[in-house]
Amino acid sequence: MNETVTYEEKPKREFVELAGLGERFIAAIIDGIIIGFITGALSRFGGPGFGLSFVITLAYTWYFLTRQNGQTPGKMLMKIRVVKKDGSQIDDATAIVRYIGYYISCMIIIGVLWAFWDEKKQGWHDKVASTLVVKA
């Protein structure tokens, strides 16, 4: 079921179609594979595994959400993107807050599953960062 929402706080009301949870899941898998290859290649040179993975994933997420129209490679392939609730582009602070929220949401699990029953399909990471995932 495709749902549309209006951007909050926009002077003129624009309608967007929310991305489906299946699309989001596939995008996350694609990005996870890419990050896994990068982290795996860099781990061969030594260094702290967990810390390195966290920093690489943060940098990857920050770069793509802020410099590539809210789209990681996985989101590009799935034709979805992350925007602020008002429809504007993600900024540096929002990208970082969203990633840290996502990390915590995944550890707790319920934070990611929250999107299944939320009317705007927001996980806790989307709520804390005030973001939406929409069709591009």
Tell me what pLDDT residue 83 has.
97
pLDDT in tens, 67-82: 999 999 999 999 999 9
CA distance 1 to 34: 29
Q: What is the tally of structural domains in the chain? A: 1
21: containing domain: 4-135
What count of other Cβ atoms lies within 10 Å of the Cβ of residue 38? 16
- Whether the predicted pLDDT of 6 surpasses 70: no
CA distance 69 to 28: 17
Tell me what pLDDT residue 46 has.
64
Tell me what pLDDT residue 53 has.
83
Q: Mean pLDDT of all residues in the chain?
A: 89
pTM, to two decimals: 0.85
CA angle 42, 44, 48 (to 5 degrees): 70
124, containing H or E segment: helix 124-129
